[in-house]
Structure 1
């Protein structure tokens, strides 16, 4: 940026840049800073100054050269640079200029080809027809290339090359050029003048392809108006071939820029759909159109990894793996922290058995994120840390595949040294890999224990470790972990540990352990309202289950992004719902929004209620007591289904069935339904002597119907 001293004497930002460059105040430092940060807005200002400079000074030429290192293949910068090299005071020779043209024409544009034709006119070996044919082979499928086609046709007509002129016109009228009607009129005139007998048949044969080109031309103009929002000229065509310097902006800089990326994706998919039907008749022309379209997208939206990946996949699809790899590396140059592109590059190199280069791709990513984390304040580290951890996970997987367990363990040892910058998910994932690759339980435990040194105060990691110990039936170690950590967390976080540990005890523990756990939990979370109608109290402590559920749900809100955060596998870490008997808690690896599992849970609940009704038929007193004990669970389930039924048809149907079952159960035991569903729903369920209770099929709510006598 211009120094403060410069701003004191400059009236505008542009004047400040001019004064800084004119006085040679650290111009090399400015360019180096801009190279390190290609997204700096100062690029546009300094390029405008270099373009408007009166002479081709070494400073302006260095600016263009530096810009092309950061924005390679950008036509506007290439054209501006070449114009400066052709100035009368330019230090470039004609041979050097021609060499630049040849390099730039590897990624051609219409503006660049127009400049090349002008340059070649001054050369002794100039041949108009060969020059035009050369550039039209490069950009002849571009909509704005009609000027080059017109000049080529004029040169053929002037040379009396009628046959080539006719063949060229037949080719041109099938291309969606901006001035396509003009070329059709020119063809009609030529055919009727020189081929009177066959003119009608010839035009009829070309008419279908020409009509298709006209339709595609209209669609293309619509896309270009969206993708290149520039002023409309008198001919009502967007001048998207203009050589005005324009630089891409990061895709997340604004909402409009993000929308621009989606529009480019739509345009590229449209081009791939082959609207001109060239794949069968002219495969070379089809590839030329797609190559040009992807080049425009990569220049216009350079900082979009998704578009670079589309480019890479397209080149792979057409069978050019080398070009695909080059485009991928160029995309990484503009998006050096993109996990998407680096992982694609590493996979490609691994597929080619180039393991050293693939390893280097991972090492570069680790260096980038390690530097970013060291420079980033603690508040903004979370997202970068997640990406850093994902790089390590992918790197360790790659090493497992290519070099084996020993080499992967060496990479993991490096990750342990970076543990202060990593999320705990790295340790969980490595432990799973160790298990899946034949490691022993002790080896896996050592990995978890290494993570405990850094994440012993992270409830998510402790719960993960506890789950694994329970899974491998390490009861003693699981109990030691639980007892050593449960009192170290606040009550909201500790509810997560109690939830998992109590589930385990209800499945596998003895009665003394269960009762001791319930005693301790009731001391922490409130009085446990035990139901005395069944032999084992722990199987019917519905109110207690509701209390733990309340604390677990509250803890999920307070620890958002840690304990309740979705794991790599895609499932939430806890599910506080219990079944009717409180004996078969929902498995922790199942998500609460899994529709099939929720339906199974509902069926299980209703079966439990019916079982209790059969038990309660021994007496009205025990029946009333049983229904009271179910009140909390009924209310919780009812609230859950009501909250979701408006969005899900299957939930509405289940809600109707659920209420019908509840109504039937309460009628069987002779207990007022008000006590089962809660007093807040009293008006919905009250039934007088002349009314009956029915379930409305549309709303799913109980409805009172008045009896009508005959």
Structure 2
């Protein structure tokens, strides 16, 4: 990448497309070069492009906000617009802490207690929110003015409610909060304090036990918030990486197991807490479809709550944006949309068709790139295997070996064959959806599109023929025979296809 950026935003987007969008180090360099140039419009373009590729990445969002705040011209409106956009779906305590500090700094917006309550309603169950937000919130309540007896009673109720809630959560400072609660209640009334402490003690001890377990899980996951902007990279499938994925899965299953032993009446709290854990996981493991699918599976297991349904759609859409060639996420999302349409009187399956078409287009693009690499490897192999010649182009028999060396290994061949089969399976599932939801005509139209695709395999012909044979009572055998015969023109030399035709 060059040391200077182009002058306009269109060229900046082209610069982003010029390198791998999954390379974290190149993205960081892109931001550094933009900031070094000092052009405000280009810097904003760079951050917007970065956050489009890595949404909900708190370290990048905070860096962007700090840049806007540090500009000489007042950008209060811009900061508030960015905060409104970022905070809606952010599970980051650090970003919410930035919001609270910003509001306090510019002295705008709601009162301190109102903004703290707003923040805690979103991330108050996060371990790190204890020292970052809960402690300050309770202190704000304690420092509230008392102009009348009614004010004093309201203040006492608010402090008691906040403290009682906080000491039952596995927060990083839960022991200090418990000590403060004991001191506060004792200063008011020793008899009442004894009863409150006795009632809260079991839940508090459970929270402390869960905190120890939580600390062990989070410590095993490592710290991804230090060292500037954190951007997740694509899978490398190394041993260390596999261990990290295993630890994340163990942590998510532990959260889903309700370690706080919340009752059914607190089910909404459990859903919010586990959903919060999954939101953090998919930020750190953005390019791992299995984690997104775990989130989807969990959402479907908790019932038809509004929170779960919102998370379910969000996880699948965002997961496909990050992993457009994921089979498991595509099929899960397509099935979700299909089921939703089947419940309606007026059905429109265009959204499902769009999902399959985007998926197949992504697979086709990957196949085209892999085919080029395979062709280049074949050319290189042919050059390597050529017999040696002298300067005049005449074969040099003196160096000719009695045994011909084996042809160079082409590592792309097995992968290309596997990808071709996967590509055909995508078309097959698309045809099955069309047949299932819209009938024979739509299924045939889909197969007609598949036949024209240069990367289609014989498996799609076999699947289309068998669907006609099994589902078309009128002329299914005749149509199936015609499909097989049509495939023979293209795959007649493929023994597997011929065997499928004969069987």
TM range (shorter): 0.7 to 0.9
1:30 aligns with 2:30: no
When normalised by structure 1's length, the TM-score is 0.58
- Aligned to 2:48, the other structure's residue is in SS state helix
User: CA deviation digits over 1:424-455, x for unaligned, max 9?
Assistant: 22222222211110344332222222222222
* 8 A Cα contact 1:56 1:84, kept in partner: no
Note closer, same or farther for the CA distance 1:281–1:411 as it changes in structure 2 (3 Å cut). Answer: closer
Equivalent residue for 1:86? 69
Equivalent residue for 1:324? 312
Note the 1:90-129 alignment, pairs <5 A: 93-108=75-90, 109-121=92-104, 122-129=106-113
1:279 CA displacement: 4.0
Distance of 2:121 and 2:95 partners within structure 1 = 14
Which of 460, 472, 482 aligns to 1:446? It is 482
Equivalent residue for 2:403? none
User: CA deviation digits over 1:115-162, x for unaligned, max 9?
Assistant: 111111122445111111111111111100112111111111222533
Note closer, same or farther for the CA distance 1:425–1:24 as it changes in structure 2 (3 Å cut). Answer: closer
Equivalent residue for 1:426? 460
Equivalent residue for 1:64? 47
Distance of 1:348 and 1:252 partners within structure 2 = 30
* 8 A Cα contact 2:296 2:315, kept in partner: yes
1:383 CA displacement: 2.1
1:355 aligns with 2:340: no
Distance of 2:363 and 2:191 partners within structure 1 = 73
Equivalent residue for 1:436? 470
Root-mean-square deviation over aligned CA pairs = 2.5
Which of 174, 190, 193 aligns to 2:184? It is 190
Distance of 1:23 and 1:401 partners within structure 2 = 52
Distance of 1:352 and 1:156 partners within structure 2 = 46
Note closer, same or farther for the CA distance 1:56–1:263 as it changes in structure 2 (3 Å cut). Answer: farther
- Aligned to 2:258, the other structure's residue is in SS state coil
* 8 A Cα contact 1:305 1:338, kept in partner: yes
1:276 aligns with 2:270: no
* 8 A Cα contact 2:31 2:47, kept in partner: yes
1:50 CA displacement: 5.9
Which of 395, 406, 417 aligns to 2:430? It is 395
1:397 CA displacement: 0.7
Note the 1:464-503 alignment, pairs <5 A: 464-466=500-502, 468=503
Note closer, same or farther for the CA distance 1:387–1:252 as it changes in structure 2 (3 Å cut). Answer: farther
Which of 269, 272, 277 aligns to 1:288? It is 272
Distance of 1:381 and 1:395 partners within structure 2 = 21
Distance of 1:168 and 1:61 partners within structure 2 = 40
Note closer, same or farther for the CA distance 1:465–1:73 as it changes in structure 2 (3 Å cut). Answer: same
Distance of 1:75 and 1:49 partners within structure 2 = 21
User: CA deviation digits over 1:633-692, x for unaligned, max 9?
Assistant: xxxxxxxxxxxxxxxxxxxxxxxxxxxxxxxxxxxxxxxxxxxxxxxxxxxxxxxxxxxx
Equivalent residue for 1:457? 493
Distance of 2:216 and 2:352 partners within structure 1 = 42
1:55 CA displacement: 6.3
User: CA deviation digits over 1:240-267, x for unaligned, max 9?
Assistant: 6658311112234533333333322222
Gaps of 5+ in 1: 3-18, 231-239, 469-710
User: CA deviation digits over 1:387-445, x for unaligned, max 9?
Assistant: 21011101111111122223222222222223x52332222222221111034433222
- Aligned to 2:115, the other structure's residue is in SS state helix
1:215 aligns with 2:209: yes
Equivalent residue for 2:399? none
* 8 A Cα contact 1:393 1:429, kept in partner: yes
- Aligned to 1:376, the other structure's residue is in SS state helix
Gaps of 5+ in 2: 146-154, 342-347, 375-412
1:405 aligns with 2:440: yes
Distance of 1:54 and 1:137 partners within structure 2 = 40
Larger RCO (alpha carbons 8 Å, 6+ apart) = 2
Equivalent residue for 1:511? none
Alignment length (residue pairs): 437
Distance of 2:186 and 2:496 partners within structure 1 = 82
Distance of 1:424 and 1:166 partners within structure 2 = 70
Note the 1:630-649 alignment, pairs <5 A: none
Distance of 2:220 and 2:33 partners within structure 1 = 29
1:346 aligns with 2:334: yes
* 8 A Cα contact 1:55 1:87, kept in partner: no
Equivalent residue for 1:177? 171
